[in-house]
Amino acid sequence: MLKITHSIRQLSLVVAGFVAASLLLESDGLAHWADRLEPGPLRTVAVPATQAVDSTLAPLGVGEVRDAALKNLARVGWSDDEALLAEGSSEAGGGKSGPEKSAGLNPAGNSACAATTKATASISGASAAGTPGSSAAGAGNAPTGSGIGISHAPGADAPLANDVPRTLELAPLPPVAQGKQRVVALAGDSMMAVGLSATLMRQAAGDKNLRIVKAFKSGTGLARPEVYNWMDEYPAMLGAEKPDVVIVAIGANDGQGFVVDHKVLAYGTDAWRQVYQDRVASFLSMVSAGGARVVWVALPPMRIPVYDEKIAAINRIAYTVVSQSPQAVWWNPVSLVADDKGKFREFETEATGQAMRVRSTDGIHLSDEGAGKLTALLMKWLDPPPAPPPAPPPAPPLAPPLPQPSAAQPGPAASAGSAEQQPAAQTAGVHKHRPRKAVKAQTAKG
């Protein structure tokens, strides 16, 4: 009995120590997690509790030390956090970003939809009607969404598309002008941060015609501007840069309800779709401002069926908006990373017979190899080869040479002279023989 009691006491101390260490190291992460919960009873309790703990422990600065240590480990590959690994790879590959706080990844939102069992995972926000959102919800209260209305940006009121096209066509860009660079902004959540941005930036690092601007942040999206407002953050990420092209991959965290004007809008309802479609339209209107060409990358099929259905709905809304913009194009890589039926595929068989991983082990993001299939096409489009110089006009045809008389065929004068001489020669021959015949006749008579 004493041994059992002693063991329970030790176990309790271990658990208590683990909880204390977790609170100390992950207090801000827990606060972000609670803030991203869908509106409901759990969020009502979790938000004030985690924010109280975080505000108490924040002055110790433990979170900043932890984040710096995790990023340094990720730079050398000592991490299983794909978002941090992607960030370290992006920094190594070059590229420019806006303010450092915006270019980095959210320490709480390491990868889109980490809690895939509910297909909602980390939640984020973006723009509403073009009005700045609050930085966080009030303690103990669900976000009200006050002041977030319908902006009616282009595409916001368009009828919902029944399906999305599987097209990879991109209208050709002109070659980059001599001595200039094409500025390309990479925008989005972890669907951009993991895989896609890293491979693009590595391939563009040696291309003097391209300049990459990092404008992505994991754990964000367009559904919750009160958590993360893309309408405020995107301009800050760009700084003074004016992109010529914006490549967008976003929406993996948006399949969840939110609150607007103190009213909970459940995911999938008509009211939810109307507000979310308006937020997508506002975001697209912002990133295409100034004449930028926008490539909206469709989200790939997901491993978990329930989550995949939500992503398909997000794609339909995004395509509905994008198809209404003359500056944007819908770019769907499903044929590159999915199976023949357009369903999730983790591996594909190469021509050599070897298996190649095209999706990450989380069943959400692209692997580096899978992302490389996309970036190979995007790089050719972003920096096309210069047009060949025009061919010189064809030379005019030469005049045909005049015919030359040959020895076998005498000219007209020679032929005429021969004809004149021939009768004379024949006449002369006759006269020569006639006198001989006359002599012979006379001799015979005599």
Token pair 């939500």: residue: 310
Does residue 357 lie within any of the structural domains? yes
Does residue 70 lie within any of the structural domains? no
* The pairing of beta strand 258-260 with beta strand 263-265: antiparallel
Split the chain (446 residues) into runs of 10 and give each run's mean pLDDT.
65 77 67 60 70 72 71 65 54 48 36 38 34 34 43 88 93 91 97 95 93 96 94 96 97 95 93 97 96 97 97 98 97 96 94 94 96 96 84 81 68 50 48 49 46
pLDDT of residue 44: 63
pLDDT of residue 134: 33
pTM of the predicted model over 0.75 = no
CB 369 within 8 A of CB 358: yes
Token pair for residue 421? 């001489």
Where do the DSSP E strands lie in 22-110? 96-97
Does residue 204 lie within any of the structural domains? yes
Rounded-to-integer distance, Cα 49 and Cα 35, Å: 11
pLDDT of residue 36: 58
What CATH number does residue 366 fall under? 3.40.50.1110
Neighbours of 182 (CB within 10 A): 21
pLDDT of residue 419: 47
Does residue 188 lie within any of the structural domains? yes
Neighbours of 47 (CB within 10 A): 24
pLDDT of residue 64: 72
Does residue 148 lie within any of the structural domains? yes
pLDDT of residue 35: 59
Does residue 151 lie within any of the structural domains? yes
| Helical residues (DSSP H) of 122-195, grouped into ranges | 190-193
pLDDT of residue 446: 44
CA atoms within a 13 Å half-sphere pointing along the CA-CB vector of 373: 18
Token pair 């991959």: residue: 249
CB 153 within 8 A of CB 285: yes
pLDDT of residue 190: 95
Question: How many separate domains does the chain show?
Answer: 1
CB 126 within 8 A of CB 223: yes
Does residue 7 lie within any of the structural domains? no
DSSP state of 331: E
Neighbours of 436 (CB within 10 A): 9
Structural domain boundaries, residue 261: 93-382
pLDDT of residue 349: 92
Q: Please, which residues have CB within 8 angstroms of residue 296's CB and are 6 or more apart in sequence? A: 248, 284, 318, 319, 322, 328, 329, 330, 331
Rounded-to-integer distance, Cα 430 and Cα 60, Å: 146
Does residue 20 lie within any of the structural domains? no
Token pair for residue 391? 């061919």
pLDDT of residue 91: 54
**How distant, in Å, are the alpha carbons of 180, 233, 235 from that of 220?**
33, 11, 15
CB 79 within 8 A of CB 85: yes
Q: Please, which residues have CB within 8 angstroms of residue 12's CB and are 6 or more apart in sequence? A: none
